[in-house]
Amino acid sequence: MLRTATDEDVDDILRWRNQRANREVSITSHEITPAEHAGWWARASVDPTRRVLIYERDGAGAGVVNFFDLALDVPQPSGFWGFFLDAEGLAERGATLPAWIEVMKDAEAYAFDHLGLHELHGEVLEHNAVVRQMNRRFRFVEADPETREVDGRSIVVIPISLRRDQRRGGDRRAG
């Protein structure tokens, strides 16, 4: 289940984002400071082109889904997304894979059925083979890789996209 993040979630978001497993597959890999995180939240929580959602599993917070750069008032609405899970907590409970599948299903439904997007975009690091495979299962299409210098390292980023009519089951809008 996804719900809107609140001020009460800010500490959990920072803790999850700073877990090593999440930093290793993020474009920015440094440990986020509390001040940096507070600045991000101050901007993100009021940004009309962004939605920050908490993924809940078994009644507890288990991850974050970010939708950003949302263009909703255009003929073919689009936006970008990313997510990270409470990797450590889910691993302890043996729930990583089911949570991962569930958060992707919930995020896809939110993007297309709730936000009404025509196309959803994201990015994945080239070395993140497991996520790339899962993205393909969800029918995301990869574009040409881009090399970037971030946090003192050279990374290869692969843009991904999914159109509403490409998703499993196609366009599910009512009416």
Tens-digit pLDDT profile for residues 113-122: 999 999 999 9
CATH T-level fold of 2-166: Aminopeptidase (3.40.630)
Tens-digit pLDDT profile for residues 142-154: 999 999 999 888 9
Percent with pLDDT over 90 in the chain: 86
Tens-digit pLDDT profile for residues 44-75: 999 999 999 999 999 999 999 999 999 999 99
Residues sharing a CB contact under 8 Å with residue 51, sequence separation 6 or more, in sequence order: 4, 65, 66, 67, 68, 70, 110, 115
> CB atoms < 10 A from the CB of 116, how many?
11
**At residue 112, what is the residue type?**
F
| Domain boundaries of the chain, sorted by first residue | 2-166
Residue 160 to residue 141: CA distance in whole angstroms? 5
The helix (H) or strand (E) run that includes residue 88 is: helix 87-92
Q: How many residues does the chain have?
A: 175
